[in-house]
Structure formats: C-alpha cells, structure tokens
Chain A
Amino acid sequence: MSTQTPVPEPLPANIQQALRETITAQDAPPWLAGRISARIREDAARRPASGLRLPHWVLAGAATFALAVAVVAGARNWNAATTQIAGLLHTLGIGDHVYCAASGHYPQTPPAVETMNEKLGADFAALVPAVSGSLPGYTIRQGHICIYKGRPFIHVIAKKDEQLVSLIVTARQAGEDFPMNSVVARMRKDGIPIHASTDGLFQSAGFATPNHFAFVVSNLEERANLMLMASLAPRVYGIIRAVAR
C-alpha cells in the first residue's frame, strides 16, 4: 500500500495574496526590539564571561562527581574534626576535672572568696561570680590554678549534693584547635561555637578563643552540661579575651 502523501493543492492566488497581506501588515510594536535587546544584555551580564559551554549531561555528571568527592572528603574531615575535638574535651577538660575535682582535691569547707580571688589572680577572679551566677543553689568549693600533666589550669569547682561541676580554662598550645568549629559545633551562643563530648561518666562542653580553651565538665545530663556552658560562654569569653589583651 502506498503511503505517499499527495502534494497539497495550492490556495487560490487571491486568497494567498490576501493571507500574506493580512499577516504581514501586523508589524511588531516599535518598543519590542529594544526590550528584547535589554533583556539579552541583562542576561549576558548575569552569565559567566567564559565561553566554556558543556552539555547538560557533562555538567550533571561533573556535579554528581564533585558532590560525591565533597561528601567523602567532608565525611573524612568531619570524622577527623570530631575526633580531634573529642580528644581535647576529654584530655584537657575531663582529664583535669577527674584529676582535681572528681578525685576530691578540694577542701571540705569552701574557701573564702578573697582566698579564691588571690589564687586565681585578678585576671581570672571574675570567673567565680560568673559560675555562681549561672548555678543558683550550688556552692563554690574551689577557685585555684592547678597543674595537671605539667599544664596549668584555671579551675573553679561548684557542688550541689552529688552534682559536681568544673569550669576549666587553659592556654592553647601549638597545634591545639577546635577545627571546622562552625560546622561541627554542637550549638552556638552569641556567635561562639560550643563543642561537646562525653565519656559516659562525665560530660564535657567547651569553646576556644584565639589563646585559650574553656570547658565545663560535670556529671550532669549531657544537655544540661551543654546548656550550662552556653549560659557561661559569653561572660567567660569576655573575661578570657580581656586577659589576652
């Protein structure tokens, strides 16, 4: 069976003429060319200057690959960062808390405020009222500088019944940092990234300034410990930064 389409019969000449004249009489409005030109130039200004044009499948493939690389690299960085942060929270924060507070190296009778101020020195004496202000009902049991593994720690200990809380400040040493802190931080308080970790028995939350670390370590619930660090962070940060100046 033939499927060839017959050639269409032409329009009568007068109809064809009338059709052309009618359609071609409809000129575009004078402003249209200007508006098109303006839109093209606006679009050109937004687009990159590069002449590189890649097919969509290449771009999609490249984007997928880049995303996969970023995910793998990000996961590795994330793991490395969280490992390093946890290490500092444990070795410095929990380490000094266990050595000095949890092991009972504080007097049974709270020392006088003046005594603690003297031990802490003028720069860090303000940490005591900071802690007592954030922990109503707690007693300040110690305010001093202790040495743990050869490293000095500013240490304020507060206690209420079986709950024991330490505020610990120590100077940062070379290579110590909370990396990618804006990404892996547990929370932010007034722009300060706060990190947290636990060893199952003690909770440690802390932040870094350019020269110091500050930790709150306790046997409170993990979230309560984190929130206590958050409530203290702005004031403690200000005290530490004032020392650095």
Chain B
Amino acid sequence: MLFGRKTEPGEFEAAAMPHMNDLFRTACGLLGNRTEAEDLIQDVYLNAWRSFHRFEPGTNCRAWMFKILFHRLHHHRRKWYQMRLLREGEEFLEENLPATEPIPEKISDKAILAAIDKLAPEFREVLLLADVEEFAYKEIAAMLDVPVGTVMSRLSRARRQMRERLTEYARDSYGIANVRDEKKVEAAL
C-alpha cells in the first residue's frame, strides 16, 4: 500500500489507550520493575503511534499493541541484557522431569511474583499472554514471531516451572519439610 491513512492523535488514542493497563501489567510481569515498565510502555505507544497508519481498522488493536510491546521488549533486551537462552539439553531435561509435587492451595502475591521472576523471559512471555491476558496460541505465535508449537511447548514448561517454584517457595519460606502435606501448606500460607 503506497498511500496510508492520515492519522490523528485522537483516533490513535481512542483505539490504543484502553489497553494501556494490560500492556503495563504485562510489562511489569516481564521486566519485574515498574520504572522500566513505565519507560517501555511510553516507547511502545510512541512506536505504535508512528506505525498507526499501517494498522487496519477493524482488526484486533489489543493484539497489535501487544505485538509492538514484544517487539520493543526484545529491542530493549538486546540493548541492555544478554538474553538467557535455554540449551537443548536443558529443554530435554525439563520435558522429562518426573511429575511435580503437589502445589499449595493458597498463594501469596509475593510467591507468584517470585516464581514469575525466576522464569526464563521466553517462558514468562507466553505464561502472561496465555494465562493472564488470555490470548489464543495463534495470536501469541503472531506476536512473538514463533510457531504455534513453540508457544505450546514454552507454555507447558512455564506452567510446570510455576508449579515447582511455588512449591519450592512455600518450602523455603515457611520451613515446610514435606510440601506433599497439603493441609500443612495451606496452614502455612
């Protein structure tokens, strides 16, 4: 398309601003830092505004904004961090771990945030998109530019790690020797 639409800030804001809180929460969950999330969200919105002429009215603006969020997040990570990538051996090991221990029933915010923080970035992304923002696998795959199968396998591992880490957290935080005792865990949390 050689000629795009002429866009006005008001039109963009009406379409994009309702999703700001969702984007901000996801950014916080991904970065684990509110200040960095605030900077990232401003960057996301500025980039989205500059690309808004390419957005097709009637399509999913929320998914489009999340795609830009991940694009900018990856740029942010390339700039500031060395992305931690899982090696094949680790993936194989995780896929073949024995069944997890029972998990606690009541879980604090602190435990959730600590567990998310320990996830690898690529696992954290799919977990937040699927289990918090409730995007479909296909939508997540489009946002992250990965195959649907990768989304599913990452999500599978992310969920398993969440369960394990919440169990570990309960054990470490409350001195519970055997978290298989669900009543003890419940009482402790």
Contacts and interface: CB of A to CB of B under 8 A. Distances in A.
B109 A25 contact: yes
Given A23-B29, A32-B20, A58-B2, A41 B132 contact: no
Nearest to B51: A53
Contact of B4 (A9, A25, A51): A51
Interface string B125-158: 0011001100000000000000011001101100
A36 B6 contact: no
A8 to B, nearest CB: 4
B49 A40 contact: yes
A203 B119 CA distance: 79
Contacts of A52: 3-4
A11 B42 contact: no
Contacts of B109: 18, 21-22, 25
B25 interface: yes
Contact of A26 (B6, B24, B148, B160): B24
Contacts of B162: 11, 15, 19
Given A52-B3, A55-B2, A43 B152 contact: no
A12 B41 contact: no
Interface of B: 2-9, 12-13, 17, 20-21, 24-26, 28-29, 34, 38, 41-42, 45-46, 49-50, 53-54, 103, 105-107, 109, 112-113, 116, 127-128, 131-132, 148-149, 152-153, 155-156, 159-160, 162-163, 166
A29 interface: yes
Interface in A23-39: 23-29, 32-33, 35-37, 39
Smallest CB-CB A-B distances: 7 pairs: A51-B6, A53-B4, A8-B156, A28-B24, A5-B149, A22-B112, A18-B107
Contacts of B54: 53
A103 interface: no
A64 interface: no
Contact count band on A? 35 or more
Nearest to B102: A12
Nearest to B105: A14
A55 B162 CA distance: 43
Given A6-B156, A10-B159, A35-B42, A50 B6 contact: yes
Nearest to A14: B105
Contact of B13 (A5, A32, A40): A40
Contacts of B148: 5
Contacts of B41: 28, 32, 36
Contacts of B13: 37, 40
A77 B37 CA distance: 55
B103 A15 contact: yes
Nearest to A50: B6
Nearest to A10: B159
A201 interface: no
B2 A11 contact: no
A35 B24 CA distance: 14
B16 to A, nearest CB: 9
Contacts of A37: 9, 13, 17
B113 A22 contact: yes
Contacts of A20: 131-132
Contacts of B103: 12, 14-15
A183 interface: no
Contact of B9 (A23, A29, A44): A44
A120 to B, nearest CB: 67
A11 B128 CA distance: 12
